[in-house]
Amino acid sequence: MHTTSDKKLIEVCYTPGQYPLYEGKFDLVVVIDVLRATSAITTALHYGVEKIIPVGTVEEARAFKAKGYITAAERDGQVVEGFDFGNSPYAFMDEKMKGKTVVLTTTNGTRAIQLAASKCTVVMGCLNNLDFLCQWLIERHENTLVLASGWKDKVNLEDTICGGAIANTLLETRRFRSNEDSTVAAKFIYRSAREHLLSFLRASSHRRRLIQLNIQQDVKYCLTLNTVPCIPVLKDGVLVRLDYHPVNTEYAIKTPFSSHSN
Ligand code: MLT
């Protein structure tokens, strides 16, 4: 039995713009950008990219490119002209990327990462690492904020569902509590979506945007659950793979989504 004072906070913040309303109370921030930044970063580190340097602007990325770095830049879903590639998870699965350092800037995701990069531990979450991440968050047992990247400071559906799934899973252990209605709402949206994730997300604005750009393959990949047991963590401004090998099976996590979701 855990008393309220033992319980740690889990809250969901919907956009980087709302982050100042939440920051300060948390030890750990999980940045989410399901379509596609955090899915791409998690995939990249899982497939062997050694480091990712997230930068906020295209100009910063260009400065790194001029110094010889591999650079990836995405704006409005497209690869920015002059860069090696954008934000597709598939770009990072290439054997040639193993052991490499990549500089990355994206429309929303890298901005959210930079905002959170203050005193807290900052990790990346997505549907691809959902259960692995939840297991680690439960073991870690710290005041945790899920920071959704949203779209240009507006709420988006896919990050809200992923944040709601994380909050729901942590709250069900009874070792966490939440105070914010944003968390309650994210949890209920996740619960409505979990039986039919793909059809629910048909309504997502960024999914439609990416499909117009003809990148259905990326959308399908990013909406697939539990494919990469990897947690990217920010260390001195650089994303690296967290050294985590779960030993505690007490909380073997299985976030409920219908098998039809995939
Ligand atoms: C972002 O950071 O805004 C997204 O990841 C955009 C995308 O990949 O399409």
Cα of 259 from ligand 1 centre, angstroms: 26
Least confident of 6-15, 70-79, 191-200, 227-236: 191-200
How many A from CA of 251 to the centre of ligand 1?
A: 32
Look at the chain and count its residues.
Answer: 262
Residue to mutate (ligand 1; options 107, 111, 218; most atoms within 8 A of CB): 107
pLDDT digits (tens, 9 = 90+) for 119-140: 789 999 999 999 999 999 999 9
Measure 247 CA to ligand 1 centroid, in angstroms. 34
| Ligand 1 touching residue 108 (CB < 6 A) | yes
17 CA distance to ligand 1 middle (Å)? 16
Note if the pTM is more than 0.85.
yes
Give the chain's domains with CATH numbers. Answer: 8-234 (3.90.1560.10)
**The pLDDT value given to residue 260:** 42
Answer with the residue of higher pLDDT: 160 or 205. Answer: 160
**Residue 77 Cβ < 6 Å to ligand 1:** yes
Phi, psi of 107, deg, nearest 5: -60, -50
Most confident of 161-165, 204-208, 218-222: 161-165
107 ligand 1 Cβ < 6 A? yes
Q: How confident is the model at residue 251 (pLDDT cuts 50, 70, 90)?
A: low
Q: Is 158 in the pocket of ligand 1 (CB under 6 A)?
A: no
Q: Identify the band that residue 174 occupies on the pLDDT scale cut at 50, 70 and 90.
A: very high
Q: What value does the mean pLDDT of the chain take?
A: 91
152-156 mean pLDDT: 93
Q: Which of 36, 113, 114, 102 is nearest to 75 (CA)?
A: 36
Spell out the SS3 assignment of the chain: CCCCCCCEEEEEECCHHHHHHHCCCCCEEEEECCCCHHHHHHHHHHCCCCEEEECCCHHHHHHHHHCCCEEEEEECCEECCCCCECCCHHHHCCHHHCCCEEEEECCCHHHHHHHHCCCCEEEEECCCCHHHHHHHHHHHCCCEEEEECCECCECCHHHHHHHHHHHHHHHHCCCEECCCHHHHHHHHHHHHHCCCHHHHHCCCHHHHHHHHCCCHHHHHHHCCCCCCCCCEEEECCEEEECCCCCCCCCCCCCCCCCHHHC
Residue recorded with tokens 């909406």:
223
**What is the average pLDDT across 200-216?**
80
Window from 68-72, 107-111, 152-156, 200-204 with minimum mean pLDDT = 200-204
8 alpha carbon – ligand 1 mean position (Å) = 30
* pLDDT band at residue 262 using 50, 70 and 90 as cut-offs: very low
pLDDT at residue 64, as a whole number: 97
